Amino acid sequence: MTYKKVRTRFAPSPTGFLHIGGARTALFNWLYTRRHEGTFVLRIEDTDQARSTEESTRAILDAMTWLGLNWDEGPYFQAERVNIHRVMVQKLIDEGKAYYCICTPEELEAKRKKALAEGRKPKYDGTCRNRGLARSPGSVVRFRCPEVGMTIVRDLIKGNISFNNEELDDLIIERADGYPTYNFAVVVDDAQMGITHVIRGDDHVNNTPKQIRIYEALGCETPLFGHVPMILGSDKARLSKRHGATSVMAYQEMGYLPEALVNYLVRLGWSHGDQEIFAMEEMIREFSLEAVGKSAAVFNPEKLLWLNQQYIMSYPGERLAEVVLPFWEKRGFDLSNRGYAAKAVSDLRTRAKTLVELADAGAFFFREEVDYDPEAAAKFLTPEYGGHLQVVAERIPAVEDYTKDGLEAFLRALAEERGTKLKWIAQALRVALTGKTVSPGIDEVMVTLGKERVIERIRLALARIGAGG
């Protein structure tokens, strides 16, 4: 079967946040579509009125936007198409391909238990199949599945999968409240929206033969299917909250870059040689369903953290400062001097794995008063080191080459003059300027802080020493 133009869709249910598995499904659809210059459709499947919320819808749209997965059409809302679904249900009823069922939940549960007790599959037993019932309070509509033969799913990832029609159920396609069920609504919407490729998680494999039969009953062309293996946690159980954050936007809050998360997600089940880091253009150019693995992928938080660090180190400077600023703003810092903030980010970028780490490590740049680590202050803010700090403060105004190289040369000469090692002056300075014993290079810190801030902070440290710590 050949289609002229690829049309894919991502169709999340707005009953919660966009999770990692859903984001990967969206990404695979998006990449496949972009690779084939097709159309990517976003559809919100909100027919479960009891659980669907506007908040969840907004969270999904925000996550898609943050990841850079722009859609070409939509978002369409399935609940707004209910009248179309009802027309299609009636069409199947009129053609004898669907029927009303009045079996109560209690009766169905009794049938299920009996089937299990007798070693049979607990499928609907067809009680109402040939009764010719009309709509009545509490009735549902069931699809009349074929009872003989086979249904073949020609899966683009898993290969051909065969289902015995005897095993298929007369599934409910319209609930008693008049709303369609997932398996019916998704077929009608995909058919009417011209979806050519349905790429989704393999938890939908068992839905596919039922949906194929509905396509055929409606007289619609069946799309091509590709079922992506699930994502497992490190313990090989299905990925869940106990394995860590599963919400996409939780990763934004934890300081991950969207490009890093996208790069990580694409490698969960897809590969291109041994390459690990991909620009978006490379992903689009190289992505194919043939290269998607058939076995489950294992989520590795450490690998994601490593990737995020690589992206932080390579991110354009101005853009990195822009995405870090919100984390500093939350701490109430004055960020009016954006150039100063950008310099601070440049100093910190090689030492942080997340934006939160970067923001925490760079807080000292913005605090009006230095927050001294007690152990660091006890060791280095003492009379023994006070003399070194005093001389630095006195001579800094006269330093003409106030650059990284110039300051390094200045400190080396000072250490030699005072008969000590450079590291002792540097550590005392580091604690005086940052409050900690770990920071970017002390010469880099001094350049970014500027002469006035350096002198002021040294004065504060000397006052602390003079006051007895």
Residues designated as active site: 241
Dihedrals phi, psi of 27, to nearest 5 degrees: -60, -45
Of the candidates 236, 288, 246, the one whose C-alpha atom is nearest the C-alpha of residue 34 is 288
- Burial-class residue 328 by CB neighbours within 10 Å (0-12, 13-18, 19+): buried
Tokens standing for residue 30: 């998006």
DSSP secondary structure letter of residue 278? -
Answer whether 7's CB lies under 8 Å from 37's CB.
no
Of the candidates 214, 208, 194, the one whose C-alpha atom is nearest the C-alpha of residue 156 is 208
**Type and span of the H or E element at 37:** none
DSSP string, 158-196: TEEEEEEGGG----EEE-TTSPBPHHHHHHHHHHHTT--
Answer whether 185's CB lies under 8 Å from 47's CB.
yes
Treating both helix axes as pointing N-terminal to C-terminal, what angle do 182-192 and 82-94 enclose, rounded to 10 degrees?
Answer: 100
- At which residue do the structure tokens 């998680």 appear? 201
**What counts of helices (H) and strands (E) characterise the chain?**
18, 12
Of the candidates 135, 146, 147, the one whose C-alpha atom is nearest the C-alpha of residue 100 is 135
C-alpha distances out from residue 130 to 76, 96, 184, 221, Å: 37, 10, 21, 28
Kind of pairing, strands 197-201 and 224-228? parallel
